[in-house]
């Protein structure tokens, strides 16, 4: 696990003034990575690091050849249009570059004058997904979400017997992962309405969001290699926000016996900024199970995990509708939760994923599964908040929702804070629902 070092010093300040604001997502103690270009410019995408409300252009910085040692090749890898090669260098190289950037961006840095020209306002850029995602695996790590959903469909037996023993997951569709800001059409699929006698082809009427944490893999592994729990986090580059959209009516008809398919593969949205595990080191927390619950099998348990395997990461969902935006009504907070309530940790996900010898590649993406807390207002999906559509959620301005309507915009937010340390954020993950395209007919 990452340890505290000089980059976490709460006394550090940057010559980028907006990085010093108390509620800034991107102070100098954070320094997350993304891939960007100026909006509408036609420029090549390249790596950038967030500082305050700006992006430091790492492609342009590489041209100045400012660093020595292992930070130099790491910076060179960030000049590429995707960050896979940078992620593959591993945690030591990423840490060296982050330390060099921290030095260059500090208030007393002699480099401030000639680096100012390399800053680009974040409002003037567009992003792509930080890495070329070769494989995407979505887990189911929140026991509170699993219980809430299970009670809707199996009130007498809400939690299946394997849940407390196995980090459940399915392999998702990497090609439909898009960066924050996307707009996507309401998906179409087979549904089986309650009063019907046969399935129907229709646009989903039970479109849902899922509040998740994304995990980008850094250093890869060879096929047939098993990653032990103690080494698992050395294969993780960092975290982002992830919205694993779901068409619940399509899902309920198709998921047996093999799980999600069309109900999930139409869109997955990720935040552009990837916060390294090193930046998150001040916000580690003990990982534990409630008294009376079974301990994990030995390959999923060790002293380091119990001492600091959880991450104290606050999560929120905000929603605004087309009518709210037209009337100037601000977004409504739908829920809040915390990643530390997960039944399974990041390290356990990695260790279990490779147990049978599955290889990992730099840029692979894990989803944590919907992150819900124990309280009713900590539900990470509308399926839970509306009790499966039976209890509409009231919004400012008089509207209500059981599931998402066309024009709805969902915004995920995440941040860490702890007394004695500077707050850091993951930014936002935003997407908007558009009307469905025309249904196919028999001729097509």
Euclidean distance between the first and final Cα of the chain, in Å? Answer: 54
Tokens of 403: 């599931």
CB 124 within 8 A of CB 39: yes
- 356, 233 in Cβ contact below 8 A? no
Tell me the pairing of strands 268-270 and 177-179.
parallel
Q: Establish whether 336 is a catalytic residue.
A: no
* CA–CA dist 279, 295 (Å, integer): 29
For the chain, state the CA radius of gyration.
Answer: 22
Q: How far apart are CA 227 and CA 248, in angstroms?
A: 34
**If you write DSSP's letter for every residue of 240-301 in order, what string do you get?**
EEEE--EEHHHHHHH-TTT--STTTTT-EEE-S-BEETTTTGGGEE-----TTSPPPPGGG-
DSSP 379: -
Closest CA relative to residue 189, chosen from 439, 444, 441, 12: 439
Rounded (5°) CA angle 281-74-15 = 65
Distance between CA atoms of 413 and 64, rounded to whole angstroms? 34
Residues ≥6 apart with Cβ < 8 Å to 154: none
Contacts of 370 (CB under 8 A, 6+ apart): 142, 145, 210, 211, 212, 244, 380, 381
**Angle at the Cα of 93 from the Cα atoms of 92 and 97, rounded to 5 degrees:** 115
Task: Give, for 131, the enclosing helix (H) or strand (E).
Answer: none
Contact indicator for 216, 87 with CB cutoff of 8 Å: yes
Q: Which helix (H) or strand (E) holds 217?
A: strand 211-217
Among residues 8, 62, 144, 145, which one is catalytic? 145
| CA distance linking residue 401 with residue 370, whole number of Å | 19
How many separate helices (H) and strands (E) can be counted in the chain?
A: 11, 26
d(CA 381, CA 158): 17
Which positions are catalytic?
145
């Amino acid at each position: 696990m990452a340890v505290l070092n000089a980059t976490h010093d709460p006394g550090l300040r940057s010559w980028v003034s907006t990085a010093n604001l108390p509620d800034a997502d991107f102070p100098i103690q954070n320094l997350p990575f993304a891939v960007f270009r100026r909006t509408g410019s036609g420029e090549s995408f390249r790596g950038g690091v967030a500082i305050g409300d700006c992006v430091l252009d790492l492609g342009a910085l590489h041209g100045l050849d400012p660093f020595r040692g292992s930070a130099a090749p790491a910076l060179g890898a960030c000049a590429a249009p995707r960050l896979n090669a940078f992620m593959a260098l591993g945690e030591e190289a990423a840490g060296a570059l982050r330390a060099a950037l921290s030095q260059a961006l500090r208030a007393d840095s002699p480099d401030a004058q000639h680096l100012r020209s390399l800053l680009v306002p974040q409002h003037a850029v567009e992003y792509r997904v930080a890495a070329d995602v070769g494989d995407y695996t979505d887990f189911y790590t929140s026991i509170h979400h699993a219980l809430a959903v299970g009670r809707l469909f199996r009130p007498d037996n809400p939690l299946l017997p394997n849940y407390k023993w196995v980090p459940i997951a399915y392999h998702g569709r990497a090609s439909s992962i898009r960066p924050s800001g996307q707009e996507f059409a309401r998906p179409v699929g087979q549904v089986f309405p309650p009063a019907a006698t046969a399935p129907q082809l229709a646009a989903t009427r039970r479109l849902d969001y899922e509040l998740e944490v994304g995990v980008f893999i850094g250093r890869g592994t060879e096929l047939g290699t098993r990653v032990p729990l103690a080494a698992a986090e050395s294969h993780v580059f960092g975290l982002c926000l992830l919205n694993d959209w779901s068409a619940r009516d399509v899902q309920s008809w198709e998921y047996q016996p093999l799980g999600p398919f069309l109900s999930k593969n139409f869109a997955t949205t990720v935040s552009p900024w990837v916060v390294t595990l090193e930046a998150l080191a001040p916000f580690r927390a003990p990982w534990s199970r409630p008294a009376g619950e079974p301990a994990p099998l030995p390959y999923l348990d060790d002293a380091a995990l119990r001492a600091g395997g959880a991450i104290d990461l606050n999560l929120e969902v905000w929603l605004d509708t087309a009518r709210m935006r037209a009337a100037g009504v601000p977004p409504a907070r739908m829920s809040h939760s915390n990643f530390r309530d997960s039944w399974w940790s990041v390290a356990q996900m990695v260790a279990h994923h490779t147990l049978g010898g599955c290889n990992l590649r730099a840029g692979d993406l894990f989803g944590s599964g919907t992150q819900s807390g124990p309280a009713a207002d900590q539900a990470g999906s509308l399926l839970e908040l509306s009790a499966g559509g039976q209890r509409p959620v009231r919004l400012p301005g008089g509207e209500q929702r059981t599931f998402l309507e066309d024009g709805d915009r969902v915004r995920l937010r995440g941040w860490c804070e702890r007394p004695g340390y500077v707050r850091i954020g993951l930014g936002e993950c935003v997407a908007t629902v558009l009307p469905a395209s025309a249904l196919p007919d028999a001729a097509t």
